[in-house]
Structure 1
Amino acid sequence: MAVDIPGLVAVVFFYIVILVIGIWAARKSKKVEKKCVGSKSEVTIVGGRNINTIIGVFTMTATWVGGGYIMGTAEAVYTPTQGLIWALGPFSYVINFILAGLFFAKPMRSKRYVTMLDPFQRRYGNIFTAALLVPILVSDLLWVASILNALGGTMSVILGLSSAMCIIISSAFAIIYTFLGGLYSVAYTDIIQLIFIFVSLWLCVIFLLLGPAVTDVSWPTHLNQTNGYTWMGESVWLIPSIAKFFADNACALGGLSYQALYQRILSSASSAQAQVTCYAAAGTTFMMGIPSVIVGGVAVSAGTDENWNQTDYGLPPPADRGEAGRILPLVLHNLTPTWVSVLGIGAVAAAVMSSMDSALLSSASMFTQNIYKTTLRKQASERELQWAIRISVLLVGLVGTALAFGDDSVLAFLIVSGDLLYCLIFPQLVCVIHCRKANTYGAIAGYIIGLLLRLLSGEPLLGIPPVLLYPGWREEEGVIEQCFPYRTLAMLSSVICITGVSWLVEQGFSRQIIPRSWDVLGLFKEKTEEAEEKAFPQENYNRNLNTKL
């Protein structure tokens, strides 16, 4: 395929504009740092806690509307075995944002935390906090890989460039301005990126619906006679799929465990503003997913009428070639004018950069604030901490970029990314914020139970066979599919384990059923001494006096 020179020039121009805005925002960040009387690193991480509501809504929405969201939603709608009911983003993100505003924004912002891991560190200490960082970091890396993979596939289809080159160039731009300006660069570039995504995607949709290739899109009852499915999902498994979706995917609250979410909440000027930002982002994020749903439905319609055969792509359609993951760029490239498809790739590029910079900064922030500052270098200066953030941004970006060369399914990366957080981190976050009795013993037990149940349940997207077979499982072509909400089971089991073990251990030590010598973490020693002091104040006073004499 020949390289589309005009399209390449347009994309490069867009990248340069974003880079210039990022550099300008970095200078603004430096000015704020000079006026800041507290920690300079907090300006990089949470923007000095003075990000206004409008910018907050823009950057919150742009963070979640990434390449994985845009392309993954279109892929799910188009894929014969999935459909709209398996489009994880639009429904799940709305639920996540509403619950974040109701139950998490106020307690997190009112206590002036800097990262999502701060409450864990205060209650459980440094070692367990470091253990929690591992799945969060892996999830961020998979998130970066998914959105870069989405962009590489889009650019290679529309511009004729190699996917690897597109991934490297896009990653480099995002790393540079995040490296320079922290949250300020991320937030201000998000505004331009989100506006461009909205305008260009809807313009592409208009051309698709009015184009000659799409002759019949009967929403939502249109049945593809060739593949035997609707764009809503497989007709045979529609009801059980919907049930499992809302139990295991639409309610997959892994999004509530992303540092990128709390970075926006904690950067707000007040708790009320943080809540408003969450509620507004729920609506805007859902709206941004509608064009991708339409693109996926259009692809189903085009395949039905064999209109792919009227394009340079020809037949068989993308689903039969194993290219469902690239359905959005394929539709734009083959069913719209060239200049419109270039706008489409610009939208995906903007979405990728707006999400990638957030993932880079979130991982770097947690490592610097909760590991480097508290464990590795307790006496580190503010300048050193800022450089730790920058180097972490660079390393996470490089590793995430390397992973992007792996799988062609954007949806697989996106689902596994949220899966880790849903089963392992979300139950921990709920308990550390809303359960005062939760302690380190319960947290460790819950972590182990959640991890074991999730691993033993298998993951078809990654080719991992299940060891535990739940009710309703089925096997097709040698692949076992769980028709039971096993993710939610792992999450709930973890919550029950955290609260149950915490209560049992506390009762055991307080009632002296368990010997105090078994308290290897030393959690109840101080509490026991305080209780004795209150119960026998004079006796303890005399004992302390004798000890001193």
Structure 2
Amino acid sequence: MAVNLPGLLSVVVFYLIILVTGIWASKKSKREERKCTGKESEIAMVGGRNLNIWVSIFTTTATWVGGGFILGNAEVVYMPNKGLAWAIGPIGYSLNLVIGGLFFVKPMRGKNRVTIMDPFQEKYGDTLTSVLFIPSVLADIFWVACVLAALGGTMSVILDIPSHLAVVISAAVAILYTLLGGLYSVAYTDVIQLIFMLLSLWLCVPFILKSPASADITYTAVNELYQAPWLGRLDLQDVGRWLDDLLLVTLSGTCYQAFYQRILATATDMQAQITCYASAVVCFILAIPPLVIGAVAASTDWNQTSFGLPTPYEQDKAGMILPISLQYLCPVYISVAGIGAIAAAVMSSIDSALLSSASLFARNIYKNIFRKKASEREILCVVKVSILLFGCTGMGLAMSTSSVYVFWILSGDMMYSVVFAQLLCVFFLSGSSNGYGAMAGFGVGLLLRALAGEPLLGIPPVVHLPGCRVEEGVYVQAFPFRTVTMLVSLVVILLVSCLSSFLFKRGLLPKRWDVFRIQKQEAITLRDVTLKELTEESNMNTAPSASPSTSKENVHVS
């Protein structure tokens, strides 16, 4: 098959539009940097903390709805052993944004914070922060790999160009405009990308539903026509796994720097919360088209198409079922629109992940640990070098697998199993945790997660939890092992923190052994709580109150 020239031309035009938008936004970034001399690196990471509410909603939604989200949802609905019952992405992502708005916006916004690692550095110091940085940056790299793999596979199917070429070109464009303008370029290009996603994805739905090779999806939802019913089934023995996946997707998002970059870039707490709630609604709306496409693919007789037999599932191409469906079940111009939607989704996520990991390294590792006297220009250079380095790493990983779902889950797994318990303690249990507990919880969480194995990578478990069984030659844990790992880690943090505090306070351990200086930490925590209480009391005492006479006068006038 020859290269799809119209499709290739449309993708080139789209990339040029995105690049021009990124360059335009970079000029805004430069203007803000001139206004805020001495905070240039902060402008690159969180903008001027004055992001328009609409831009904020667009960039938050576009960041969450990436290539992994779109292709992963279609893949899981299409899979005979999964189906819609296992499509936890739309529910999980929407709940994640709601929970973030309700509980994590206010604790994070304060003390002029820039990254998610700032509260860890304030409480635990540099050593432990550098350890916790590792899973955070790995999760971002897996995220980059996930979305690039999605785009590479899509372009190879629809445009008939090598997937590695598509990955390299897409990564290069995203890296270039992220380097130029930081958060402003990322946010304003996200506006274009989200509009393109909304229009393109919903445009594909009516055409793919009318495909003559596909049966009525309302019939195949519960009847076995071409494969298992696409609604899927949730057996009692799989409830633990299902809950584990749902909690992972729902809670892991609160650990990503990309989320906090958006809520820190808004002017007020209220704007940040509105951003989260509105984005949750749009996320769910954008999940519907890929779910429908997955259902149509499961209802298709592929022998009636030019794809032929064996089916995409039998050829181990389930991860690319969305572009395959667009290519073989829709008119050419519709498949081109579909690839535009996926390209937009990929670009909107990869730039966020790159800026996120680069911000963490430049601020919390390079500036606060290696070079505390580094100039703003030097930190900006580190941000740019980091964007390039992490982008190339993710690009290399994207060429190593055919399944988008693998990296999509692994990215969240890293944050949920290892980091989420740490986040809860720093934000909500600060007085009950310290560096010793955090280090112990991190080690125990990492160990338990490794012992549980990973079926997506074919790593067998060392510890067989209740319900562990063999599926397609691979051991699978039916028990919610990720959630158990997170809860055990949380308990270990609190217990070890309590024990270490007791031992040092009672003099059972000499103060010179207190490498994390927990007594100083506890004093700082107590001071912060006292200052907060005094501020609240002062605000109450100075608040204007109407006198009885004034109240009567107001009533009389009314």
Structure 1 and Structure 2 fold alike (TM over 0.5): yes
Deviations 1:428-466 (A, max 9, x none): 111011112211000000001110111100000011100
CA distance in 2, matches of 1:219, 1:385: 58
- Select the residue among 375, 395, 398 that pairs with 2:392: 398
8 Å Cα contact 2:248-2:412 kept in structure 1: no
SS in structure 2 of the partner of residue 467 of structure 1: coil
Corresponding residue of 1:504: 499
Residue identity in the other structure for 1:445: A
Corresponding residue of 1:523: 518
Deviation of 1:275 after TM superposition, in Å, equals 1.2
8 Å Cα contact 1:164-1:405 kept in structure 2: yes
Unaligned ranges ≥5, structure 1: 532-549
Residue identity in the other structure for 1:479: V
Distance change in 2, residues 1:467/1:239 (3 Å): same
SS in structure 2 of the partner of residue 320 of structure 1: coil
Residue identity in the other structure for 1:326: M
Corresponding residue of 1:352: 346
Deviation of 1:11 after TM superposition, in Å, equals 0.5
SS in structure 1 of the partner of residue 465 of structure 2: coil
Moved more, 88-97 or 351-360: 88-97
Corresponding residue of 2:223: 223
8 Å Cα contact 2:441-2:490 kept in structure 1: yes
Residue identity in the other structure for 1:232: L
CA distance in 2, matches of 1:352, 1:368: 24
Superposition CA RMSD, Å: 1.9
Pair 1:232 & 2:231 matched: yes
Deviations 1:308-349 (A, max 9, x none): 112110122111111100100000000000010001001100
Distance change in 2, residues 1:328/1:520 (3 Å): same
Deviation of 1:85 after TM superposition, in Å, equals 2.8
Deviations 1:137-162 (A, max 9, x none): 11111110110000000000000100
CA distance in 2, matches of 1:250, 1:232: 21
Distance change in 2, residues 1:507/1:215 (3 Å): same
Distance change in 2, residues 1:529/1:309 (3 Å): closer
SS in structure 2 of the partner of residue 318 of structure 1: coil
Corresponding residue of 2:486: 491
Pair 1:413 & 2:407 matched: yes
Corresponding residue of 1:95: 95
Corresponding residue of 2:533: none
CA distance in 2, matches of 1:262, 1:376: 24
8 Å Cα contact 1:110-1:271 kept in structure 2: no
After the TM superposition, list the runs of 4 or more consecutive aligned residues in structure 1 that deviate by more than 4 angstroms.
525-531
CA distance in 2, matches of 1:482, 1:330: 31
8 Å Cα contact 1:95-1:250 kept in structure 2: no
Deviation of 1:512 after TM superposition, in Å, equals 2.5
8 Å Cα contact 1:88-1:250 kept in structure 2: no
SS in structure 2 of the partner of residue 468 of structure 1: coil
8 Å Cα contact 2:453-2:460 kept in structure 1: yes
CA distance in 1, matches of 2:185, 2:105: 23
SS in structure 2 of the partner of residue 49 of structure 1: coil
- Select the residue among 317, 322, 332 that pairs with 2:316: 322
- Select the residue among 448, 452, 466 that pairs with 1:453: 448
Residue identity in the other structure for 2:121: Q
CA distance in 2, matches of 1:362, 1:520: 30
SS in structure 2 of the partner of residue 110 of structure 1: coil
Pair 1:465 & 2:460 matched: yes
Corresponding residue of 1:244: 241
Corresponding residue of 2:115: 115
Residues 16-35 of structure 1: pairs in structure 2 closer than 5 A: 16-35=16-35
Corresponding residue of 1:55: 55
CA distance in 1, matches of 2:456, 2:429: 34
CA distance in 2, matches of 1:176, 1:4: 26
- Select the residue among 368, 385, 389 that pairs with 2:379: 385
SS in structure 2 of the partner of residue 465 of structure 1: coil
Pair 1:434 & 2:428 matched: yes
8 Å Cα contact 1:95-1:251 kept in structure 2: no
8 Å Cα contact 1:459-1:466 kept in structure 2: yes
Deviations 1:373-409 (A, max 9, x none): 1112111111111111111111111111111110100
CA distance in 2, matches of 1:526, 1:500: 17
Residue identity in the other structure for 2:339: I
SS in structure 2 of the partner of residue 453 of structure 1: helix
CA distance in 1, matches of 2:350, 2:118: 23
Aligned residues: 524
Percent of aligned pairs with the same amino acid: 52
Unaligned ranges ≥5, structure 2: 527-558
8 Å Cα contact 1:85-1:242 kept in structure 2: no
Residues 136-215 of structure 1: pairs in structure 2 closer than 5 A: 136-215=136-215
8 Å Cα contact 1:109-1:274 kept in structure 2: no
Deviation of 1:31 after TM superposition, in Å, equals 0.9
- Select the residue among 299, 302, 323 that pairs with 1:301: 299
SS in structure 1 of the partner of residue 116 of structure 2: coil
CA distance in 1, matches of 2:524, 2:124: 20
8 Å Cα contact 1:248-1:486 kept in structure 2: no
CA distance in 2, matches of 1:315, 1:152: 23
Corresponding residue of 1:75: 75
Residue identity in the other structure for 1:171: A
Corresponding residue of 1:536: none
8 Å Cα contact 1:178-1:186 kept in structure 2: yes
TM-score (norm 1): 0.92
CA distance in 2, matches of 1:297, 1:181: 40
Deviations 1:347-388 (A, max 9, x none): 100100000000000001111110111112111111111111
